Chains A and B, each alone.
Chain A
Amino acid sequence: MATEKIVQPGDVTQRVGVEVIRARGVDVDKLIKMLVANAAAEFASTYYYYTILRMNLAGHEDYKEICEDARLEDRAHWELIVPRIYELGGHLPNDLKEFHDQAGCRAAKLPDPPTAVNILTLLLESERCAIRSWSAVCDITFGKDPRTYDLAARILNEEIEHEAWFIELLAQERDGKSIPSGHFRRGEPGEAPYSKNRGFYNP
């Protein structure tokens, strides 16, 4: 482990919470960029566009409900991770377009035609990008930065559930096949059991 940079008593220009993870090998500048890109994907690539996707699932009330859970949980992910960006000494771009352009995942724009199959396919691939993006954060923080790792792992848990939901729905809608996700279990919409630290479904 590298020597930790000494922060003098009363010094508010340095953060022990940053220096301890830097000393353990975390590239903090890179981590901040990853968190900004992932926050942008949660907020600008999914939450915003999932709102539109949900509006266009008329006649598929079950899909609308699941889309709503994913939409609100992605917003919860945004809320969960943004404070960590600032704790690490980073910040959000002071321009929404610049923030959108930082997103590491494709914007989930309404497909043409906006059929249930096309929307479910888009939702599935959006969740897959999120899984890859949060796994990358887990990879660089594991064993070095327990706070970021914990936040990223909570988000990753929910993204993996979202993928399973949309596999189940798309397989049934498109292929007439049953590929169970496990349980769709949420209480109120967007319950976010991991990222809001609520009880898991375990009857």
Chain B
Amino acid sequence: METPDGLRSFDCGEDEHIWDAAASHQITLPATCHQGRCLTCAGRLLAGSVDHDHADAYFAQDEEEDYILLCRAMPRSDLHIRTHQEWEMREHRIASGLPAPYA
């Protein structure tokens, strides 16, 4: 995981939300709704694959651009993620004509 504080690695179960796993390893990431809606927790998937667990708003266009919502995303492989992408994802949503809360 690429964070503003440097690279961090940790284990995350396949039924565990990545944000929760990070928190349990003392990695504090941004989040507000924890519902997969507000985009505060957005990350960019640089390698690997995830599933989203009942994210309120996650679109095919998000997946095409490798944006993920860490509060609802669960790993399906080893992952390489860049965190703190909320404003980048909101710009992507606006450019795609999709809902962008807080934008």
Known contacts A125-B35, A128-B34, A129-B35; is-contact A104 B102 (Cβ 8 Å): yes
B65-93 interface mask toward A, CB cutoff 8 Å, 1 = contact, 0 = none?
A: 00000000000000000000000000000
Chain A residues touching B, majority SS: helix
Q: How many residues of A contact B (CB 8 A)?
A: 17
Chain B residues contacting A129 (CB-CB under 8 Å) are 32-35
Complex CA gap A90/B33 in Å reads 23
Chain B: interface size category: 10 to 19
Determine whether B38 belongs to the interface, using a CB cutoff of 8 Å to chain A. Answer: yes
Determine whether A84 belongs to the interface, using a CB cutoff of 8 Å to chain B. Answer: no
Determine whether B101 belongs to the interface, using a CB cutoff of 8 Å to chain A. Answer: yes
By the criterion CB–CB under 8 Å, are B33 and A132 in contact? yes
Complex CA gap A125/B34 in Å reads 9
Determine whether B103 belongs to the interface, using a CB cutoff of 8 Å to chain A. Answer: yes
By the criterion CB–CB under 8 Å, are A132 and B101 in contact? no
Give the distance to chain B from A64, nearest Cβ to Cβ, in Å.
25
Determine whether B48 belongs to the interface, using a CB cutoff of 8 Å to chain A. Answer: no
Of all chain A residues, which has the CB nearest B33?
A129
By the criterion CB–CB under 8 Å, are A106 and B33 in contact? yes
B interface with A by C-beta (< 8 Å): 31-35, 37-38, 56, 99-103
24 contacts between A and B (CB under 8 A): A33-B102, A34-B102, A37-B101, A37-B102, A101-B99, A101-B101, A102-B101, A102-B103, A104-B38, A104-B101, A105-B35, A105-B37, A105-B38, A106-B33, A106-B35, A107-B56, A128-B34, A129-B32, A129-B33, A129-B34, A132-B31, A132-B32, A132-B33, A133-B32
